[in-house]
Structure formats: structure tokens, C-alpha cells
Structure 1
């Protein structure tokens, strides 16, 4: 069965480079931009920003599941060595949690939009602050996986294959 799968390259991937970071950067940008639009709309009373926020959250909800799929594939192919495993596990746990949290917030936003498209309660903005903090922590963990532990970098892949890293 394995002979039908494409061969892995020097990044230990069946495709040229990691896809998870590309997709997840869209999610990060859309979630943060949605929150900024809500803040601008709230303080400026320019309610068109609420519409922009809604659509950003809607597409972020779809995109985060695509990011998770590629994240799971790439985490499995990374052959994480012992010291990186706790960070990768926490990053995975928060990623899955964020998918549910973002979906729930988007659902809440949809209900708010149906009730009154020109109003967002302060509680929603408070949740946006918490979501922003969680997203920043998740970004920190992802950066740590790449820039500190070097997952899917050629040198680390070679070191794992040679048994230098375990």
C-alpha cells in the first residue's frame, strides 16, 4: 500500500513545502482583522465594519479546519523528537480547541447579526480580546516548533533520520 504514496522529499513531505503555515496565516489574519473591524465599528459607529468582521469570521471558521487537516498530516510526518513532543501536543490541542471556539464565536456572531446587524455587545468584544490572546499564544507555539525545534527543516529531518535527534 505504501508504494502508492508519493515519496517524501528532504523536508519529509510528499509535496514541496509545508502547507499548514500558509493556510493558518489566513486564519490568523482573518480572526485578528475581524476583531479590529468590530472595534472600529463599535467606536466609530460605522456599521459596515460589522459586515466585514462577519465575513472574515465566516471564512476563518472554514479555513481553520483546512489548516488543522494539513497540520495533522504534517505533524505526523515531522517525526517529532522527544523534546519537541510536549510543544507539538499543546499546539495540536489548542488548534483543535480554537476550531471549536472560532466556530462557536462565529455562530454567536451570526445570531447577533440576525437580531441587529448594527450592534455588537461589549461582551462579544471581550470574547474577541480573549480569542486574540489565545491566537497569539498559538502563534508563539507554532513559531517555536519551526524556529526553535526546526520541524520540517532539512537539517532537522536529516538529524532525525540519522538518529542524532530522538
Structure 2
């Protein structure tokens, strides 16, 4: 039965390298850029930036679900050892939460865009700042998973196979 499954490489993946970080960096950039465009548009009156912000949020909302799908798949293949489990679980929980928060903010942004395309309320900017801070926490957790705990890195995969990590 297992012969039909693809062989895992040195990174414990069926494809050359992790896809989740690639997609998620796209999401991070779009969310942060959308917030910056809204803030600049709010304070300068350059309302065309609101349209840029909207489209960035729209595509970020779609992309976050793609990032989550790959993140869940790759986390399952990572064989997390005891020390990493709590960080990975929190990263997963926050990622799913951010998808709902981002989708809600994007829906609200669509309503704002439909009703008053040349301005955004200050309360929306406040929520954008909170979203930006949450994204920052998520980036910190993701960085910790790779740079501290070494998920999907060859030395950690080899240590797991040799039974050195539990």
C-alpha cells in the first residue's frame, strides 16, 4: 500500500523544499503593504491608495488559506519533537485565527470601499494595526520553528531518524 506514496527527500517532504514559507511571505507582504497604504491614504488624502490596499487584502485573504493548507501538510510531515510541539501548536492556532480575522477585515474593507471609497474610518486603521501586530507575532513563531527548532532542515531530520530527538 505504501508503495504508491511519494518518497520523502532529505527535508522530509515529497517535493524539493517547503512551500508554506513562500506563500506565507506573500501574505505577510500584502497585509503589511495594505496597512501602510491605508495609513498613508488616510493622512495624505491620496484615496487611490485605498484601492491598492483593498486589492492587497483581497489577494492576501485568498493566499492565507493556501499558506495554511501547505502549512498543515508540512507540519504533519515535520515529525515535531517534544520541545517544538507547543510553539508549532500555537503557530497553527494563530494561523487559523488570522485567516478568520483577515477574512473578516477584508469583508469590512469591501463594505467601506463600496460605501465610501475615498476614506476609511480611524477604527478600521486601529484594527489594521492590531492585525499587523498579530502578523508580527506569527512571523516570530514561524521564524522560531525554522531557525531555533530547525523544522524541515536536514540536520534535524537526520537527528530524528537516528532517535536523538524526541
TM-score range relative to shorter protein: over 0.9
Matches within 5 A, 1:2-151: 2-151=2-151
Q: Distance in 2 between matches of 1:16 and 1:111?
A: 41
**Distance in 2 between the 1:41 and 1:56 partners?**
14
Give distance in 2, aligned partners of 1:111 and 1:7.
47
The CA distance in 1 between the partners of 2:148 and 2:116, in whole Å, is 46
- Aligned CA RMSD, in angstroms, stands at 0.5
1:31-72: per-residue Cα shift (whole Å, max 9, x none)?
000000000100110000000000000000000000000000
Please, what TM-score do these two structures have when normalized by structure 1? Answer: 0.99
- Structure 2: runs of 5 or more not aligned: none
Structure 1 residue ranges without an equivalent (≥5): none
State the distance in 2 between where 1:115 and 1:145 align. Answer: 42
What's the offset of the Cα at 1:2? 2.5
